[in-house]
Structure 1
Amino acid sequence: MTHVAPATTAHTWRPPAPVAPRGTLVVLPGRGEHSLVYERFGRRISADGYVVHALDTTPDHDDADLLAAVTGVLGAAPAAPVVLVGSDTGALQALNIAARTGVDVPLAGLVLAGTALKTEGDALDWESELTARTSCPTHRQKLSEDKEFGRGRLTDPVPVHLLPAGPLPSVPALVLHGAADPLTPLGEARALARRLPHVDFAVVRDGVHDVLNDASHRTTAAAVVQWLERLRADDGLRPILTVEPLDQPRP
């Protein structure tokens, strides 16, 4: 297994002063990705008051190294609640860390985005990979110009040890998945969500694999913030705001 580099390799986005942090997120990227792929997500979530750390991890890192990296980047007193955010294989790693974490990481929840559940897939050319990843023109351009991005890695085999086999962690989870994800069918993501004891399952209309960086990234980020606010306010994740239809004719 590859050893995780020191946590100083992470990128961090903090709330603007004088906003006090409302919680802490640690992002685990997926195949081919690195921490700065989540710069837009980090900036947006931090603007709402949350500290966001994104790690430069890969699917080959083992659970112990990942846990050490997460512990290192959090430091001694992270703002609560602490939430792991994983995309693609990072979502599987987040699940595995949550299953073994204890007092070293005061983990309060998980956000699992575009979870990778298939162990292998057909190789894709670059245009096909971009189409599978995102329909956002800005993010497509960012990836195309990114010399650090691992092209062709999206269909790398998912390490078997990452696939969820036993009981899943009991911490609250938000599962985000694109309705048109070409890598992990929606039904498979729904089946995973049903195995989680405390879960909200959110489907992105027309969304493809990288839902945090897809065309609906603003809506997805807003859903994450709303879920975080519920997690802060109530362990039962009761809704803070509900939209109620009015039984009256429209003018």
Structure 2
Amino acid sequence: MTSPSPPPSERDFTAPPGLRTRGTVVVVAGRGETPDSYARFGARLAADAYRVRVLPAPDLDPADLPAFVASLSAAIDGIADRVGPLVLVGADTGAVAVGAAVAALQPDGVVLAGLPGYDTHRVLGWDEELDARTHCPVHRGVLTGDTAVRPGGLATPVPAGLLDAAYGSTAEPPHLLLVGDADPLADRAALGRLAKALPSVRLSVVRGAHHDVLNDLSHRSVAAHVVTFLEALRGTPPLAPVVETETGTW
């Protein structure tokens, strides 16, 4: 069975022909981005036999969180060829919305990438915004060439109520938190508190990465880290390391 064609605002990626799909990943974009911003990430996960759907950035009104939950549930239900495990990936405000809504959605796993901190919005010119987002020349070209990308998106304040819900989560599903150590919008103290509060979590810091941690210079290593998380969710027992180093000198 093939899934229905998604609206133009969504992007779909499927496993190569002949490979059995290993799970379903739904990605929610962040401020100023479009689903096309995650074409490289989606294609890379799909190449590892995961079914991927990328959704646009959510509305930032806290009162619309129930509507976001409903629309995300509908997007998941609309993937007719989905298989478990189901993993939600959010970036920037997509991460805020997913983090705030995860208890209601109950996926098998969650990846929150580039969670913005409190009061870290700023008014930036486009060159400064690109520098805050990514130093990957390919992704900078993707953002600049996409006429649907909104310059100044990172200057849009994130409502404190949504940040409170995301950073105050104690949801059960396993979480992978990703942050760049050069992310000017990150709140490492708040991330540390979240990592201590979640019952099943790994906080991974990406050396040299900026706010768009899924799309910076280290995007290959980050995508591989996400795939490692996806594969661990499928394991028996879940989350047991698939590969362990026995000896080494580095």
Give the letter for the 2:84 counterpart. Answer: A
Equivalent residue number for residue 151 of structure 1: 151
Deviation, 1:49, is 0.6
Cα deviations by residue, 1:194-220 (Å, 9 ceiling, x for unpaired) = 221100111100111100000000000
Give the letter for the 2:116 counterpart. Answer: A
Deviation, 1:235, is 5.3
3-state secondary structure, aligned to 2:164: coil
Equivalent residue number for residue 96 of structure 1: 100
TM-score (norm 1): 0.88
Determine the C-alpha separation between the residues in 2 that align with 1:122 and 1:63. 24
3-state secondary structure, aligned to 1:57: coil
Cα deviations by residue, 1:91-124 (Å, 9 ceiling, x for unpaired) = 111112212225xxxx101000010122453211
Deviation, 1:65, is 2.1
Q: Work out the percentage of aligned pairs sharing the same amino acid.
A: 40
Deviation, 1:25, is 0.7
Equivalent residue number for residue 16 of structure 1: 16
3-state secondary structure, aligned to 1:131: helix
Give the letter for the 1:86 counterpart. Answer: G
Equivalent residue number for residue 60 of structure 1: 60
Determine the C-alpha separation between the residues in 2 that align with 1:49 and 1:43. 10
Cα deviations by residue, 1:140-191 (Å, 9 ceiling, x for unpaired) = 1111111100100112110223113444211100001101111114333233
Equivalent residue number for residue 210 of structure 2: 208
Match of 2:189 among 182, 187, 190: 187
Determine the C-alpha separation between the residues in 2 that align with 1:90 and 1:167. 15
Q: Return 5+ residue gaps in structure 2 as ranges.
A: none
Give the letter for the 1:66 counterpart. Answer: F
Q: How does 1:72-91 map to 2 (within 5 A)?
A: 72-75=74-77, 78-91=82-95
Give the letter for the 1:221 counterpart. Answer: A
Determine the C-alpha separation between the residues in 1 that align with 2:190 and 2:34. 25
Determine the C-alpha separation between the residues in 2 that align with 1:135 and 1:188. 25
3-state secondary structure, aligned to 1:51: strand
Match of 1:241 among 236, 239, 243: 243
Q: Return 5+ residue gaps in structure 1 as ranges.
A: 1-5
Equivalent residue number for residue 3 of structure 1: none
3-state secondary structure, aligned to 1:25: strand
User: How many corresponding residue pairs?
Assistant: 239
